Amino acid sequence: MIINSINSRMLSKLGSRGAFGVALHEIANDNNNIIALSADLCNTSGLDRFREAFADRFINVGIAEQNMVGIAAGLANEGKVPFVTTFSNFLSMRACEQIRHFLGYMKSNVKVVGLGSGFAMGMFGNTHYGVEDLAIIRAIPNVTVISPADSSETFKTVQAAALYDGPVYIRLTGTMNNPIVYKDEYDFKIGKAVKLKNGSDINIFAAGTMVYNSVKAAELLENRGLSVGVTNMHTIKPIDADVLDEISSYSKLIVSVEEHSVVGGLGGAIAEYNSNKKNVPPHLIIGTEDKFKYAGEYKYMLEINGLLPEQIADKILSRYNSI
């Protein structure tokens, strides 16, 4: 599928999970080694069409996430390319040991897809929110971590992951009718960030749903006379060191924005990298607070965590004025 205005709207309406299902179905037509595994979440994973078309390549293990990762590792060892799907909190926490052992230590070529990351699960509440998954998975050696900016990039991420030789964690954020970042075809490469806007005063590094919100926040700040850039850091591990070095060299303030805890996510990855550098600009980390809050609908959760564009812009302006 080519990314254009029509396809981007279609994928947006489906949301990141639907876009994942469309991508995997298309890839499986050309690659007989693609296998899909679900922990009793076929429909929720967007895999209905895949199951109907490739019944012999779809495995529903039931609510047994740990077993699912082990089964996927065995399939990978036999030359298959398994995609494992369930909610991100269950993958990163319940199956953490299996991911660490089979993907990290043994480097099994398994693609784990964390559904409903951030606050996408809405009224399901804190038991289903995935705001710690990056901190957990990023700490495991040898696992590549990707958080697509929108549904179009989800499609491209799945394509790239299928061809990538090694374990990958794909973090899917947002709900149906995902805001659109990409309306046209572009070059997507694992490990290479994408500059969306150039700026000389402030530069924002964002991932997942927060890419769109950061673009809107940048527009609000530009209306106040500031030069603000935005970079889509879709690959969080390995971090794109080249783009960090380049942008940090001329920025007065760098900002990371993510629908994840302020502990251990994209902000942590950038801070860790820059900790060994001289003369780096101040870094503002914007994400969810290190606490549990009441549950609510998706937009409400973004609002109480200060992740709407207006709130992001206000936080950035306050920090910039304090420099």
Could you list the active site residues? Answer: 65
Does a structural domain hold residue 71? Answer: yes
Same domain, 144 and 201: no
Mean pLDDT by 10 residues, the chain (323 residues): 92 94 96 97 92 96 96 98 97 97 98 96 94 98 98 97 98 95 96 97 98 98 98 98 97 98 98 94 97 94 97 98 94
Give the 3-state secondary structure of residue 87. Answer: strand
Same domain, 247 and 101: no
Q: Please list the residues that pair with 237 across neighbouring strands.
A: 145
Same domain, 94 and 143: yes
Structural domains in the chain (count): 2
What's residue 240's pLDDT?
A: 98
Same domain, 241 and 299: yes
Same domain, 48 and 78: yes
Does a structural domain hold residue 181? Answer: no
Q: How many CB atoms lie within 10 A of CB 80?
A: 17
Rounded to two decimals, the pTM is: 0.96
Tokens linked to 320: 């910039």
CATH number (domain holding residue 305): 3.40.50.920
Does a structural domain hold residue 278? Answer: yes
Same domain, 113 and 255: no
Same domain, 106 and 73: yes
Q: What is the distance between the alpha carbons of residues 129 and 119, in angstroms, rounded to a whole number?
A: 5
Same domain, 74 and 36: yes
Does a structural domain hold residue 179? Answer: no
Cβ-Cβ contacts under 8 Å for 52 (sequence gap 6 or more): none
What's residue 44's pLDDT?
A: 87
Boundary (domain end) residue, out of 173, 203, 229 = 173
Does a structural domain hold residue 180? Answer: no
Tokens linked to 312: 């992001």
Does a structural domain hold residue 185? Answer: no
Cβ-Cβ contacts under 8 Å for 276 (sequence gap 6 or more): none
Same domain, 167 and 19: yes
Same domain, 237 and 302: yes
Does a structural domain hold residue 187? Answer: no
Cβ-Cβ contacts under 8 Å for 248 (sequence gap 6 or more): 203, 254, 274, 277, 280, 281
Does a structural domain hold residue 309? Answer: yes
Same domain, 117 and 67: yes
Boundary (domain end) residue, out of 173, 202, 221 = 173
Give the 3-state secondary structure of residue 23. Answer: helix
Q: Write out the residue range of the structural domain in which residue 33 sits.
A: 5-173
Closest CA to 288 of 274, 268, 273, 271: 268
What's residue 8's pLDDT?
A: 94
Same domain, 243 and 166: no
